[in-house]
Structure 1
């Protein structure tokens, strides 16, 4: 197998294609390390939760060690989740133009090899998780239920994005107890706001496959919302802003956080205004831009914590 032959249709010309050893490339693609945007999006709620916890605890900044652990954990566990998703969806992926060249349906790796790789990633994730307190470890283990269930939702409901939101927002429940050893209303409300954010951005992403999905019976909010996607995105993005803003208020955040949530809201509004659901390339660009929106909000939390500490 050549490097070119093993490429995935919706991700070419990246470092995996050009620099990784040939034998390793299919596994890196299974873990989506050729497309790290999903790992960044999984990471954002973790960092938000850590940022709000720092504000509430009166610390000058989020714990750098914990932020590093969340970074490693997000990339490893997103890889494990994607590997599980590819195992369960291998037959469906073979019927969709964008996904039929993924490692399992294209024959680059077997299901048994993928399962072994999944176990390896899960073990690395466990090592990371064990660095936290007992309550946070328990929450991390509980998150696996949402990861396990998510791939099957698209077969039975037009709202699989809720399942993804539950899984991808779980980090909002992790950063806070990593500091306090418990969950408080601010963390739960941050979690709810993040779920609304995920539903919206994954709807944008799902529009890339809307026609293929409809043909093979896969359900999504992109199909459900169709031409009403923009107003529905506005609803969910607005809900995200309001809930995350309330979480910040409960944590004791101040003016800098308020400016950050306003900038976050403007970025989301720009996505809605810019969206053209018939333009797959644009949908992908807007989806990816949510990393920047998340980093804007996290930066505001860091600055707010520092300002409050100095004040």
Structure 2
């Protein structure tokens, strides 16, 4: 009889990582724990950090009437920076949560609580990633550099937020959507109202997707006293998600309207399709939410890469209008 039992998990694999990801398959054994610290086996977080950067860049290009050669580097630099800073942020998160992660089923196998990496080695790894990201940041203008340095504040605070507030997702939103401010400023040289509106829209989006995500851990979180919007809203979560959906779409649409140059109707119409399309995707997610189905919750959370890409595509199209 052929063996039909499930294939064993690779050594050190994390519960919510993609099966067959490149870290488990291809990375050298000595580097696997460090790559897992950086969540390179779970790229969705990098996408969620990167997409607001591209929102800000393409809306800035559309608003100012055209791209410059340096915008290609801003586009690529945001991509590289998102990988590095997401890795550094997750490493810091795991250092601060090392006393909690071992008590949560989904996180018990992470490199620090499992003993694969020491806290000291993890700190050095986080510093190396931050330094590499800083080397990218200093290729931008001075205003963007200042914003990039300031971004360390919400990144540093976020891991502690679940200890003192029921709204840690707000602090995640502050950190994860900073790229909307930075990329807009990297193109224009100054911070503007459209970027600020995009930033707050992104925060509403983060509240939407991370509340969905947090429902996977609500039982463990309750046992160890960790707070989250999932625990705060409980069975009323769908109503809260609807509010976050409307806020994200309305604020992003307002950002487009404020950014649109006078008389540029084509740009305005194309760009406004972006938040409208994203809103429909979020509504699709909302209709599929099942708070007791962890696999579905994880799948819906991951689908936000596609939701966030929709404004990128239409903002990019608006640059050509």
Answering whether residue 35 of structure 2 is matched by residue 28 of structure 1, we say: yes
Runs of 4+ in 1 over 6 A off after TM superposition: none
CA deviation map 1:28-79 (0-9, x unaligned) = 0000000010000000110000011001110158922111000000110000
Q: Which residue of 2 aligns with 1:123?
A: 131
Q: In structure 2, what is the equivalent of residue 9 of structure 1?
A: 15
Q: How many residues in Structure 1 have an aligned counterpart in Structure 2? A: 306
Task: Measure, in 1, the Cα distance between the counterparts of 2:148 and 2:67.
Answer: 26
Aligned residue among 44, 51, 56 for 1:37: 44
Residues 177-226 of structure 1: CA deviation (Å, up to 9, x unaligned): 11111111111111111111111110011011011111110100000011
Contiguous gaps of at least 5 residues in structure 1: none
Alignment deviations for residues 150-174 of structure 1 (CA, whole Å, 9 cap, x no partner) = 0001011110000000000101111
Query: Which residues of 2 match residues 215-226 of structure 1 at below 5 A?
Result: 215-226=223-234
Residue 285 (structure 2) pairs with residue 277 (structure 1): no
Aligned counterpart in structure 2 of residue 178 of structure 1, from 168, 176, 186 = 186
The question of whether the paired residues in 1 share the 8 Å contact of 2:273 and 2:311 is answered with no
Of 296, 302, 311 in structure 1, the residue corresponding to residue 310 of structure 2 is 296
Alignment deviations for residues 245-274 of structure 1 (CA, whole Å, 9 cap, x no partner): 000111104111122222111001111111
- Deviation string for 1:128-166 (max 9, x for gaps)? 101100110000000000000000010111100000000
- 1:246 and 1:39 map into 2 onto residues whose CA distance is 26
The residue number in structure 1 matching 2:5 is: none
Whole-angstrom distance in 1 between the partners of 2:160 and 2:36: 21
CA displacement at 1:13 relative to structure 2: 2.7
Match status 1:235 vs 2:249: no
CA distance in 2, matches of 1:10, 1:177: 35
On the 8 A contact 1:60/1:306 being kept in 2, the answer is no
Moved more, 230-239 or 6-15: 6-15
**Residue 110 of structure 1: aligned partner:** 118
Taking the aligned partners of 2:13 and 2:195, their CA distance within structure 1 comes to 40
Distance 1:25 1:245 in 2: 42
Specify every segment of 5 or more residues in structure 2 that has no aligned partner in the other structure, as ranges: 1-8, 261-266
